[in-house]
Amino acid sequence: MESQLSLIEQSFHNRYSLYVREALEELSDNFTITDPCIPGHPIVFASRGFLKMSGYSMDEVIGKNGRIFQGPGTCRRSVMKIREAIREEITIQINLLNYRKDGTPFWLLFHMCPVFSKDDGRVINFVGVQVPILGKPRRSGGGFRRNGVNLCQVGSEMQDFVLGSCRREVCSDSLLELSRASALDSVLQSDSEESEAVEPCEASDLEKRRAMSAINNIFSVLTHYSESTGRSVCRKRCSIPQVGLLSSSLNISLGRIKQSFVLTNPYLTDMPIVYASDAFLKMTGYARDEVLGRNCRFLSGMDTDTSTLYQVRESIQTEQPCTVRILNYRKDKSSFWTLLHVSPVRGASGKIAYFVEVQTEEGCNSEERHGLSPEKRQLSVVGAIKVAVRSLSMVGSTSKS
């Protein structure tokens, strides 16, 4: 948890000036800010208004996944809409049902908007504004109940919420997650039938204007305090993202994988790293911005065997997997032996999308303690990455057709 809190601090201080939190706290709006580049897409800022509305303290919210706001009235169709908006990196406004810390439900208008880097067009954060809906839910026919909860009052528009959770990534270390994902179809169908019997609580024009006003206020602060660091953000994508930058949804999925690995893009000059796991950063001592965009050869040193490097390059050229034992170097110049597994990762079309390099440091016996050899553990990581990449590319091609 301590390492995640450190990432959360970096999330703000690397992009905004030190005074941004103080400026955001002065806003009276109810909102949260999340970072899709941190594993689990956690909340990195929560306004005082949001904390008062939800009944949670700052410590209970920061770094947490948005699942803590769910309740028995969760409508999975609404969750899917938010997931899709995050995957496509677009704005969404939807009526939702949330739960306070004491368990009481309340309707709100949820307005989510991505925050883009002005330099390269990638998504830096998501802002989620919540405006309580004061009107009563409209009913269509009789009340529909589930688990003893009246869905007219408690549940047609719930979220995995605040962007953060808004996804149950197909990518997991285990193939068991695949069976769970497939089981969602029948559950979604049942939710669809239930929600047809209920009309959600509707936000008024005034509440919609309040949401837009809050978004404007927040972006005014974020824009100002990012310009002072020279790393400006904007509300609309100001430039086309560089080829090879990962989508927010893929970043979130890969963040669920706890082993040390990097993804490289073979279509960019010098085949740079486009994703590095937290475990890789911890093992090598580098920060994420010191790794992304570089070729993996920066880990090599004076005593690294050149014939081993040639073997890795040969496997990449022939698009075949390989496993080697190699001497690498950390940022502090100390050396360490790793078992390196390199494998192509193909998208749904069968075309290679990335190469993955999984590293297991010699002398680390956590895998054996869990009954898996390093080789089997590496193959499971590769499998999880392939599932994530293929699933997202399949969803992308389906949504465009």
Contact 50, 74 (CB under 8 A): no
Q: 389 with 339, same domain?
A: yes
pLDDT computed for residue 72 by the predictor: 79
Let me know whether 294 and 209 are in one domain: no
Shortest CA distance to 149 belongs to which of 92, 75, 88, 90?
A: 75
Identify the domain containing residue 382 by its residue range: 248-394
Do residues 223 and 302 both lie within one domain? no
Question: The domain spanning residue 106 has which CATH number?
Answer: 3.30.450.20
Max Cα-Cα span within the chain: 76
Predicted pLDDT at 400: 46
pLDDT at 84 (0 to 100): 79
Residues 253 and 381 in one domain: yes
Structurally, the chain folds into a number of domains equal to: 2
Residue 290 placed within a domain = yes
Residue 99 located in a structural domain? yes
Q: Are residues 223 and 84 in the same domain?
A: yes
* Alpha helix segments (H runs only) across 105-247: 151-154, 176-195, 205-227
Helix ranges (DSSP H) in 47-149: 48-54, 58-61, 76-88
CB 250 within 8 A of CB 128: no
CA distances from 309 to 17, 122, 301, 318 (A): 41, 32, 11, 14
Structure confidence at residue 161 (pLDDT): 38
Q: Is 50 part of a structural domain of the chain?
A: yes
Residue 222 lies in a domain: yes
Q: Which of 212, 234, 256 is the last residue of a domain?
A: 234
Query: Is position 262 within any domain?
Result: yes
Final residue belonging to a domain, choices 194, 212, 234: 234
Whether residue 359 sits in one domain with residue 270: yes
Establish if 188 belongs to a structural domain.
no
**Residue environment code for 150-186, b if the CB has 16+ CB neighbours within 10 A, otherwise e:** bbbbbbbbbbbbbbbbbbbbbbbeeeebbeebeeeee
Specify whether 227 is located in the same domain as 278: no
- pLDDT confidence of residue 136: 63
With 0-12 / 13-18 / 19 or more C-beta atoms within 10 angstroms meaning exposed / middle / buried, residue 47 is: buried
Residues in the chain: 401
Q: Same domain for 90 and 10?
A: yes
Do 122 and 270 lie in one domain? The reply is: no
Shared-domain flag, residues 208 and 258: no
The verdict on residue 172 lying in a domain is: no
Tens of pLDDT, residue by residue, the chain (401 residues)? 556 677 777 777 778 988 999 999 999 999 999 988 787 889 999 999 999 999 999 999 998 877 788 777 867 777 788 877 887 788 999 988 889 999 998 888 999 999 998 877 788 899 999 999 887 655 544 443 433 344 334 433 333 433 333 333 333 344 444 444 444 444 445 444 444 434 568 889 999 999 999 999 999 999 999 998 888 999 887 655 554 567 777 888 888 898 999 999 998 888 999 899 999 999 999 988 788 888 999 999 889 999 999 999 999 999 999 999 999 999 999 999 999 999 999 987 788 989 999 999 987 655 444 566 888 888 889 999 998 888 776 554 444 44
Do 383 and 340 lie in one domain? The reply is yes
Residue 148 placed within a domain: no
Q: Compute φ and ψ for 16, nearest 5 degrees.
A: -120, 165
The amino acid at 325: R
Whether 344 and 380 map to the same domain: the answer is: yes
Burial 378-396 (b: 16+ CB within 10 A, else e): bbbbbbbbbbbbbbbbebb
